[in-house]
């Protein structure tokens, strides 16, 4: 029997603030690997009796509003905080401060492109909340790290509009790009800056009512999400085909064995006993606050991707590489503003040379704004190659020299004597090469064109790669034929 899959996502994003949501503790542990456990904590975030939350971190609200505004959610002029009560070792207060009744924003949508097709997924709502801590069992001992307690989160909840694991994966990929483009989160999934829960159900056809959904919790990689959702779809189909019923449970994905661990029956709303957090006043958000938070909103990545494919005629896979990081796409566009040649040439150089240099562990920089080859220098280098001032073969070498010295392409060409030889000098070199290798010349004159490459190679070696290979070829043929 065939089934339709229905997926809704809940994505938790750690907002990039210096301090926590309701206290002054540092959020450093969310971004740095070596922070010792329980280093950035205080009586507020560890829930000591009698303490009160501080007024909400303004920066966190600003970042959440920036995100809401970028994805066209309607931001409520007033939103409230509630207590979500549950018992777990990493939640010292016994409740999480979240927004339940009146969340920050409702609606909105996210566009993305999957297999060349435009997709739009609607959002249900978006709310602010505090992160719980972390716990793990090690050597039979339950260990709790409260550094994460109170780190600001925004949670976005989609409508159940996704229809496959690959669609869900593409959605999260795009969402991660968006939060990074906006500067609201680092979006590092491995560090837990972005985690998602997937609600999965199946039904015989799209006209049937929704099936019972299960929830796969805490997926911190896009591949885990895709694997886990596919695994769960198969499991549900097996259960239904065997005449069973789907229970509303939560599932923890174990990537080691590529299997879900079915855990507790899921709590219902009532189990959380939500009520208004009495120690916090509502968050009032004015039009002016929204305008400030939304200043300089960038073009979102999916739109940029579409533009590159349509306007610049860059292939979809190359375009994805260029837009993935905002700083790389910005750099590419700066090159285009100055460079007078073909867009494709600039795109290829950014993809091949610039990205390779950024990913090279040997280099001391890993951000594009630290790259000694600025957009101006790259445009200059490409223009010099196009104008024949230097051969194409020398391009990568000069690129590397810029990285090593920080000097401009023109300076390097002058100082290293990399200009191509004058034609007279080139002819002299060619004649010498022909004179030194009569055997190869004989074979060429007998009609073996393949040996020409060997002669070209010798000339290029003599000129230390400075000569234009095409020109060498023409002159070689001319001189060899005239012998």
Distances in whole angstroms, Cα of residue 171 to Cα of each of 138, 247, 412? 35, 26, 45
Show the site string, 360-389: x = touches Zn ion by CB under 5 A, - = not. Answer: ------------------------------
The only residue of 13, 15, 45, 105 in contact with Zn ion, by rule CB under 5 A: 45
Q: Under 8 Å CB-to-CB from 378, ≥6 apart: which residues?
A: 335, 339, 346, 349, 350, 354, 399
Least separation in angstroms between CB 46 and Zn ion: 7
Distances in whole angstroms, Cα of residue 186 to Cα of each of 111, 182, 226, 291? 20, 10, 22, 23
Distance in angstroms (rounded) separating the CA atoms of residues 292 and 288: 6
Least separation in angstroms between CB 1 and Zn ion: 53
Cα torsion through 402, 406, 408, 414, rounded to 10? -80
**Pairing between β-strand 194-203 and β-strand 214-219 as defined by DSSP bridges:** antiparallel
Least separation in angstroms between CB 20 and Zn ion: 5
CB 402, CB 391: distance < 8 Å: no
As a whole number of Å, the end-to-end CA separation of the chain is: 79
Of 44 and 390, the one with the shorter C-beta distance to Zn ion is 44
The only residue of 11, 25, 64, 225 in contact with Zn ion, by rule CB under 5 A: 25
Least separation in angstroms between CB 61 and Zn ion: 18
Of 23 and 198, the one with the shorter C-beta distance to Zn ion is 23
Least separation in angstroms between CB 195 and Zn ion: 21
Span near Zn ion by CB under 5 A; candidates 25-33, 114-122, 304-312, 436-444 = 25-33
Least separation in angstroms between CB 146 and Zn ion: 9
Distance in angstroms (rounded) separating the CA atoms of residues 99 and 78: 11
Distance in angstroms (rounded) separating the CA atoms of residues 242 and 260: 19
Span near Zn ion by CB under 5 A; candidates 21-29, 72-80, 182-190, 269-277 = 21-29
Of 57 and 221, the one with the shorter C-beta distance to Zn ion is 57
CB 9, CB 206: distance < 8 Å: no
Picking from 160, 234, 156, the residue whose alpha carbon sits closest to that of residue 195 is 156
Q: Note the Cα 183 to chain centre separation in Å.
A: 12
239 binds Zn ion (CB under 5 A): no
Q: Under 8 Å CB-to-CB from 79, ≥6 apart: which residues?
A: 99, 102, 103, 104, 127, 128, 282, 283, 285
Of 5 and 29, the one with the shorter C-beta distance to Zn ion is 29
Span near Zn ion by CB under 5 A; candidates 45-53, 186-194, 379-387, 467-475 = 45-53
Of 45 and 456, the one with the shorter C-beta distance to Zn ion is 45
Distance in angstroms (rounded) separating the CA atoms of residues 75 and 17: 20
Of 25 and 91, the one with the shorter C-beta distance to Zn ion is 25
**How many of the chain's residues bind Zn ion (CB under 5 A)?**
5
302 binds Zn ion (CB under 5 A): no
CB 174, CB 302: distance < 8 Å: yes
Span near Zn ion by CB under 5 A; candidates 37-45, 125-133, 166-174, 196-204 = 37-45
Residue 141, classed as helix, strand or coil, is strand
Span near Zn ion by CB under 5 A; candidates 6-14, 19-27, 417-425, 455-463 = 19-27
Of 149 and 314, the one with the shorter C-beta distance to Zn ion is 149
Least separation in angstroms between CB 271 and Zn ion: 27
Residue 443, classed as helix, strand or coil, is helix
Distances in whole angstroms, Cα of residue 289 to Cα of each of 63, 285, 286, 327, 367? 11, 6, 5, 26, 31
Q: Under 8 Å CB-to-CB from 229, ≥6 apart: which residues?
A: 7, 165, 168, 198, 200, 216
452 binds Zn ion (CB under 5 A): no
Which residues face 196 on adjacent strands?
A: 11, 219
Span near Zn ion by CB under 5 A; candidates 17-25, 194-202, 226-234, 275-283 = 17-25
Of 24 and 388, the one with the shorter C-beta distance to Zn ion is 24
42 binds Zn ion (CB under 5 A): yes
Of 52 and 387, the one with the shorter C-beta distance to Zn ion is 52
23 binds Zn ion (CB under 5 A): yes
Distances in whole angstroms, Cα of residue 110 to Cα of each of 70, 75, 177, 340? 9, 16, 11, 35
Of 25 and 384, the one with the shorter C-beta distance to Zn ion is 25
Least separation in angstroms between CB 44 and Zn ion: 5
Q: Which of residues 189-228 bind Zn ion (CB under 5 A)?
A: none
Of 42 and 427, the one with the shorter C-beta distance to Zn ion is 42
Contact residues for Zn ion, defined by CB under 5 A: 23, 25, 42, 44-45
């Amino acid at each position: 029997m065939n089934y339709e899959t229905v997926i809704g996502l809940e994505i938790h994003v750690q907002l990039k603030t210096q301090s926590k949501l309701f206290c002054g503790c540092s959020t450093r542990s969310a971004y740095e690997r070596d922070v010792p456990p329980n280093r950035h904590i205080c009586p507020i975030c560890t829930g000591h009796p009698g303490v009160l939350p501080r007024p909400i971190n303004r920066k966190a609200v600003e970042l959440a509003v920036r995100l809401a505004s970028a994805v066209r959610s309607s931001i409520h002029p007033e939103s409230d905080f509630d207590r979500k009560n549950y018992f777990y070792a990493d939640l010292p207060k016994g409740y999480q401060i979240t927004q339940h009744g009146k969340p920050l924003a409702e609606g909105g949508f996210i566009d993305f492109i999957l297999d060349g097709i435009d997709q739009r997924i609607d959002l249900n709502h978006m709310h602010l909340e505090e992160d719980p801590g972390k716990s793990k069992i090690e050597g039979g001992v339950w260990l709790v790290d409260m550094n994460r307690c109170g780190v600001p989160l925004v949670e976005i909840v989609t409508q159940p509009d996704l229809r496959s694991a690959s669609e869900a994966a593409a959605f999260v990929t795009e969402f991660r790009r968006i939060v990074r483009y906006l500067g609201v989160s680092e979006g590092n999934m491995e560090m837990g800056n972005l985690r998602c829960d997937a609600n999965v159900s199946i039904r015989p056809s799209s006209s049937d009512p929704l099936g019972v959904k299960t929830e796969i919790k805490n997926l911190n990689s896009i591949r885990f999400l895709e694997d886990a959702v596919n695994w769960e779809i198969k499991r549900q189909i097996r259960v239904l085909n065997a005449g069973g019923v789907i229970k509303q449970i939560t599932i923890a994905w174990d990537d080691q064995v590529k299997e879900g661990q079915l855990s507790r029956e899921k709590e219902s709303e009532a189990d959380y006993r939500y009520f208004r957090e009495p120690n916090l006043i509502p968050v009032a958000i004015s039009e002016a606050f929204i305008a400030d938070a939304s200043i300089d909103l960038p073009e979102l990545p999916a739109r940029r991707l579409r533009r590159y494919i349509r306007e610049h005629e860059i292939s979809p896979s190359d375009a994805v590489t260029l837009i993935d990081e905002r700083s790389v796409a910005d750099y590419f566009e700066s090159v285009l503003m100055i460079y007078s040649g073909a867009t494709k040439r600039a795109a290829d150089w950014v993809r091949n040379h610039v990205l390779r240099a950024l990913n090279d562990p040997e280099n001391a920089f890993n951000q594009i704004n630290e790259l000694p080859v600025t957009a101006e220098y790259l445009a200059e280098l490409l223009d010099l190659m196009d104008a024949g001032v230097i051969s194409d073969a020398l391009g990568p070498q000069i690129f590397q020299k810029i990285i090593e010295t920080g000097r401009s392409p023109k300076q390097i060409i002058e100082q290293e004597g990399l200009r191509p030889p004058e034609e007279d000098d080139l002819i002299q070199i060619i004649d010498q090469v022909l004179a030194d290798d009569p055997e190869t010349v004989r074979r060429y004159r007998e009609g073996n064109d393949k040996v020409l490459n060997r002669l070209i190679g010798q000339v290029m070696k003599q000129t230390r790669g400075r000569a234009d290979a095409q020109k060498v070829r023409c002159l070689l043929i001319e001189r060899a034929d005239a012998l």
